[in-house]
Structure 1
């Protein structure tokens, strides 16, 4: 065999080896495709199985028993159905082909109620809506008859949050917790009229109020009407605060030996009894939605929107349920709102602009 024949044989051998390698590569690729296809089939079967189980569980929660529905979703079956219809017809919530509207709503409510992840199942403000009804001159309610023209009460409340380390100094409260300062306004029926969430925990109540009354969608108060406020706010048009330097909190009036001794103390006692509605409102909000009782790991803007959503759902439940079971549930210490006494800072808010409605 001469040299030319030998070179030709080597080239043919190289070509044959390359062809074998190409065939081996194709074979490996086909095997990988078969494995991926099998995985996708298994994943699809598992997804369908999970969706089927979730659908069955949600059907059990929302269709079989009011007690179970209230425990899991904080509302009875009829109220849940009304909410789903409202979100579909007015909110634009759509069925995506896999998860029904009822399942989407139930999953969201369950996360809020129990602070669970989405796979576990066994704005920054509420704008002022309908103007609350002021206390009439002929009111007979012993709690409110002393405050003709009063619309409700206002207060700030701390909701613990998770933020970046660089932002923690701004969100640190006077007692060291990391929280946002949420301003809430409620009427006499313990429904929220206005909520502003997102201010840092280091901000004082009066500073947050200044923001509320100066923004275009802020709190508006009718002439001759007002909200009850604590000593953290100044007396001004639209707000009525207690006498300062005189005992005020309800616990200071407990017992027969602690009766008021003058008109200022008597006023503060009645003021505290009526203004307590906003503290009860925040306490009920936190007792109903566990996600507000401990920090969540959503972005801070989302955490603010969660507060708003919980307040809106609180109003919705109290409007559509004949009896709110959470209101008559004994409260635990951990369920009560985080509250801190704030120093009087009266230089920030001078007066609240009142408007007339025709």
Structure 2
């Protein structure tokens, strides 16, 4: 089981042109891919919706191209744990450390960080915060559409289909489908006629991610400060 990650400066230029949000290089979320009950470590794959699955983290660009996929965790794993354990999190952290003003967009299930922007809940009507959150939601819808297109093309990933393989094999199938998804986009193949947005079905609320309380709080405050700067730029 593995991952891949692609990045190019053109990504955040396209996001800014389409959604008027500067610095965005991709959108992140998780989706469940149903599998049969494993023979071992069954509890790691039984998700909160009551079935066995892989909890697959993906990052896509403005054009629904998959930039990163991590399919090695079971359905019981929290989205935030997968993110903290991924190769992309330290990569984004390092970009920030070197002064790169780039970030991913995630939903409120992720922690606000200087390299990961989240929506502002209960923003005052007509405020800059509401404007930012509206644009955030519009842009982040790319990953939901990406899930929908991926599963519409490769229907073995749909919940009611269920992959009848060992989790390691199922993970490789997910990776293969993601590669084929990108090839189909590059070839400009028409999408299936019944593509629908994939509702969020990732992990539960946040879980501890191994940082000290002081370090985590510092990153949260730094992330909020950068978010405020981004809002003021809109």
TM-score under structure 2 length normalisation: 0.77
Which residue, out of 164, 188, 193, partners 1:297? Answer: 164
Which consecutive unaligned segments of at least 5 residues does structure 1 have?
1-122, 248-258, 353-358
Specify which of 214, 226, 232 is matched with residue 103 of structure 2.
226
- 2:151 is equivalent to residue 277 of structure 1: no
Are 2:203 and 1:326 equivalent residues in the alignment? no
Residue 32 of structure 2: aligned partner: 158
1:238 paired with 2:102, answer no
In the TM superposition, residue 138 of structure 1 has moved relative to its aligned partner by 11
Q: Distance in 2 between matches of 1:213 and 1:138?
A: 23
Matched, 1:124 2:2: yes
Deviation of residue 164 (structure 1)? 2.2
Q: Distance in 2 between matches of 1:210 and 1:331?
A: 31
3-state SS in 2 of match to 1:326: coil
Q: Tell me what 2:224 maps to.
A: none
Q: Deviations over 1:40-98 (max 9, x none)?
A: xxxxxxxxxxxxxxxxxxxxxxxxxxxxxxxxxxxxxxxxxxxxxxxxxxxxxxxxxxx
CA distance 1:326–1:180, change in 2 (3 Å): same
Work out the CA distance in 2 between the residues paired with 1:188 and 1:265. 21
1:178 paired residue among 36, 49, 52: 52
- Matches of 2:76 and 2:201, distance apart in 1: 13
Which residue in 2 is equivalent to 1:102?
none
Deviation at 1:345, TM superposition (A): 4.3
Q: Secondary structure at the match of 2:82?
A: helix
Q: What's the counterpart of residue 80 of structure 2?
A: 206
The structure whose RCO (Cα within 8 Å, separation 6+) is larger is 2
Tell me by how many angstroms 1:196 deviates.
0.5
- Structure 1 position 336, deviation (Å): 3.5
Residues paired across the two proteins, number:
208
* Cα distance in structure 2, aligned partners of 1:185 and 1:338: 14
Say whether the 8 Å CA contact 2:65–2:185 is kept in structure 1.
Answer: yes
Question: Residues 107-133 of structure 1: CA distance to partner in whole angstroms, max 9, x if unpaired?
Answer: xxxxxxxxxxxxxxxx332x2134352
Q: Deviations over 1:223-277 (max 9, x none)?
A: 2111101111111132111114x27xxxxxxxxxxx9443333322211111010
What residue is the counterpart of 1:286 in the other structure?
151
Q: RMSD between aligned alpha carbons?
A: 3.1
For residue 174 of structure 1, give the secondary structure of its aligned residue in structure 2. coil
Any unmatched runs of 5+ in structure 2?
221-234
- Are 1:306 and 2:173 counterparts? yes
The alpha-carbon distance between structure 1 residues 215 and 281, as it changes in their structure 2 partners (threshold 3 A), is: closer
Q: Match for 1:317 among 184, 197, 203?
A: 184
Report the secondary structure of 2:87's partner residue.
helix
Q: 1:243 to 1:135 in 2, by over 3 A?
A: same
3-state SS, counterpart of residue 165 of structure 2? coil
Compute the displacement of 1:299 (Å). 1.7
3-state secondary structure, aligned to 1:277: helix
Q: Provide the rounded CA distance (Å) in 1 between the counterparts of 2:110 and 2:176.
A: 26
Q: Which has the higher helix share?
A: 1
3-state SS, counterpart of residue 269 of structure 1: helix
> In the aligned structure 1, how far is the partner of 2:15 from the partner of 2:180?
32
Maintained 8 Å contact 1:137/1:148: no
Report if aligned partners of 2:44, 2:76 keep a CA contact under 8 Å in 1.
yes
Larger radius of gyration: 1
- In 1, the alpha carbon distance for the partners of 2:76 and 2:51 equals 10
Secondary structure of 2:10's aligned partner: coil
